Structure 1
Amino acid sequence: MFSNIRRFISRNGRKFAIGGAIVGGLVFILKYNQYKLNEWRRQEVQQILQRTRRNQHFESTERSCAQTIMNLAGSIKSSVLKLLDSDTVISNLKNDSCDKIAAWNHLKILSVSKSVAIIYANVMFVFTLKIQLNLISASMFKNSQKTEDILEFNETVQEKYLTLCSHFMEKGVHTLTSYIKQKVEEVVNSISLTDKLSIRDLELLHWSIMSSIIADETNNPIKNLTKYMLPTTVDDDSSESLNKIMTVTVDLLESDECQSLMQSSVRSGFVLLIDRISKFFTQKFDSNGVAHSSGSHVKNILNGNANTNSCAQVESYFNLHEINIPMAKLIPILNGQVQNLPSSNDIHSNWLQCLISDEKLQTFSANIYEAFSF
């Protein structure tokens, strides 16, 4: 029997060898595929977890950024109001202690300048702070993953980097406000107190101011953002990490995408301002289209307590663009857009909320975070 088995094996040895090789190969392939499948699943789980952590970290950064903006923006508003002090002019007008025509013309410049300066200052501040916080947050997340080519960001480096923005609040906003006032004066000086303006005229007035700023290649705050936002020099003992992230920050601030988004935001700010002012045109009008406001209402506006909801309702249909109001009556309305006391209903607060919730800016921030967190 054993001899028969041996002869059978000898006759079919090659078949057994080939069959064994095939079976062994199949087993190896199955084991290898199972190993690679488990490895792929493990990597997928890790990527999902890392993506989840990254998203949570980014959302936390955005919340912190929004809170920081709201906390610091008040200082910017205070600086603008201090430089464009309309209260003193109003006080002199009430006390009859000045040349009224000259005072009203001065108040005209200040009233327009305040809103324009607030719109530009908030755009510049929000964009810069968003870039800074997302850059450093992304770098810290990358460091936590122990990846290669990382920069060390200790508390000292973080503090130095984030305090760079204080240059704008201490000096940059002063330079910006003075520049805005100069540009406003160039455009508004040609408008007398008796000139009647429609809402369309006001819109063209603000577009003219923006166009004048855009045409100025040397001082345009959007094209020369770093000139206003960041100091020209940093400490000589700055670390390599700080120097590198400063270089990246400047590159982002000077990028075409950033400047295009900022210019678009400025336009949106002017649209918001004109929309707010247009509500004051919906008061009662006589047959000549002249606005009538009660004495107390004008007084409230002059004191900076204007409320768009306090305007009287129109009793009949009318064409808003056919309504004209003298510049002298528009000045208190323009002046009341930026209120001295903290308010949730002035152009400053409304504009900040619009910027914080702007989808294009959020996408821009997300792209920065994603690019530097891997």
Structure 2
Amino acid sequence: MSVFSKFRDFLHRHRNKFIVTGVLFTGTFFLLRYAQRRLRDWQEREAKEILERTRKQQHFESTERTCNQTIINLSGALKKSLTKILNTDDIVDTLRGNPDNKVDLWEKLKIQTFTRACTAIYLQVMLVITLRIQLNVLGGCLYKDPSLISTELQEKYLVICHSLLNGGVQNISEIIEKELIKILRPISLSRQLKLNDIENIFYALQTSMVTSNNNPILNFKEHLITTGNKTNNNTPNGNEFFNTMIQDTIDLLDSDEIKNLANHCVNRGFALLSDGISEYYLPPQKVMELPEGAPFVHPSDIQKPMAKLIPIINGLVGKNTFFDQLTEQLVLNAKVKTLGANIYECFCSTK
């Protein structure tokens, strides 16, 4: 038998094996090519997603820096506006001349001092939350498509927060003053007050605000959208996307989540103010000056007359330190930062 015949018989006997081997080899080859192609596509997709996440993170961080700087800048303007409307310096100067109506002036100074302190907290909270919402709405929209809204409309949209610096300060201070008159009128200038009594005054105001129809937090959107900003609310704008942004902002300001967050921040603001006042009840250095054997008096038991507390509160709120601390506390508040991040992500992803 020839070699060729033997080879043919060998192929015939192992035909099925060769077929199966060939199919397996070919299948493995194409499967490997397919796996390599899918792996390459996955790697390219992952690389794009990483680049996209990095770009979004950088844009968000830039938005946050812009937001924080804007808050700091407008906080100074807010303080000036509040000081102008609730100017206690004129009353103080008049009192230095020992006028005949000094008791009436002290009563007026009492109301204005507490009004300025409490109004500052409410206004600062509203300003910070508003700017956090606006700049993250705008930032998310611009990240998605920078051509959606012009620079002119961006500026017009951001003008909303300036309502607080104009009519908002006047309106909110009047609302708070009316409530404080009810709370402070029974408290005489000579009444001795503990730190807890001061905290109770702040708590009474917050409680009356919560139950009042004029509560600035309850009417958040009215003080921002309609006060001094009638154009945005009542005049139709030709840009449909701009009108949608305005409506989305109104919906956010009117949401329970924002109102709850604002009340939380107001609570923190009054806690900060109480901490500042507590330092004047017993300065730390005085503890070292107590004579040996003298009984220790706990700060919570120390009393001061209302007449002495008025200059303390007036001076505390008049300093930039309190406003700076309040601003820093609100800017770094975890809940406020989370709100901004959620809004940014939402408007980035909205189709």
**Would you call these one fold, judging by a TM-score over 0.5?**
yes
Aligned counterpart in structure 1 of residue 334 of structure 2, from 336, 344, 359: 359
Aligned counterpart in structure 1 of residue 165 of structure 2, from 157, 166, 169: 169
Q: Which residue of structure 1 lines up, in the alignment, with residue 183 of structure 2?
A: 187
Q: Show CA shifts across 1:93-136 (max 9, x none).
A: 11234511111000000111111000000000000001100111
Q: Structure 2 regions of 5+ residues with no counterpart? A: 291-295
Structure-2 separation of matches of 1:98 and 1:159: 52
Q: Which residue of structure 1 lines up, in the alignment, with residue 196 of structure 2?
A: 200
SS in 2 for 1:337: helix
Q: Which residue of structure 2 lines up, in the alignment, with residue 219 of structure 1?
A: 214
Contact kept? 1:165, 1:229, Cα under 8 Å: yes
SS in 2 for 1:281: coil
Choose 224-233 or 319-328, whichever is displaced more: 224-233
Q: Which residue of structure 1 lines up, in the alignment, with residue 223 of structure 2?
A: 228
Task: State the Cα distance separating 1:3 from its structure 2 match.
Answer: 4.2
Task: State the Cα distance separating 1:372 from its structure 2 match.
Answer: 1.9
Structure-1 separation of matches of 2:100 and 2:89: 14
Contact kept? 1:194, 1:328, Cα under 8 Å: yes
1:1-374 mapped onto 2 (5 Å cutoff) = 1-143=3-145, 152-216=148-212, 218-231=213-226, 233-282=233-282, 313-314=286-287, 315-316=289-290, 317-339=296-318, 343-345=319-321, 347-374=322-349
Letter matched to residue 256 of structure 1: D
SS in 1 for 2:279: helix
Q: Which residue of structure 2 lines up, in the alignment, with residue 148 of structure 1?
A: none
Structure-2 separation of matches of 1:206 and 1:116: 8
Q: Which residue of structure 1 lines up, in the alignment, with residue 293 of structure 2?
A: none
Letter matched to residue 336 of structure 2: L
Contact kept? 2:237, 2:243, Cα under 8 Å: no
Q: Percent of counterpart pairs with the same letter?
A: 36
Structure-1 separation of matches of 2:13 and 2:100: 125
The total of aligned residue pairs comes to 336
Choose 163-172 or 104-113, whichever is displaced more: 163-172
- In the superposition, the TM-score normalised over structure 1's length comes to 0.85
**Residues 1:373 and 1:98: Cα distance change in structure 2 (over 3 Å):** farther
Q: Show CA shifts across 1:61-95 (max 9, x none).
A: 11111111111112211221122121121122112
- Please identify runs of 4+ aligned residues in structure 1 that moved more than 3 A: 1-15
Task: State the Cα distance separating 1:194 from its structure 2 match.
Answer: 1.0
Structure-1 separation of matches of 2:122 and 2:323: 11
SS in 1 for 2:166: helix
> Which structure has greater helix proportion?
2
Task: State the Cα distance separating 1:219 from its structure 2 match.
Answer: 1.5
RMSD: 1.8
Choose 106-115 or 248-257, whichever is displaced more: 248-257
Q: Structure 1 regions of 5+ residues with no counterpart? A: 145-150, 284-310
Task: State the Cα distance separating 1:369 from its structure 2 match.
Answer: 1.3
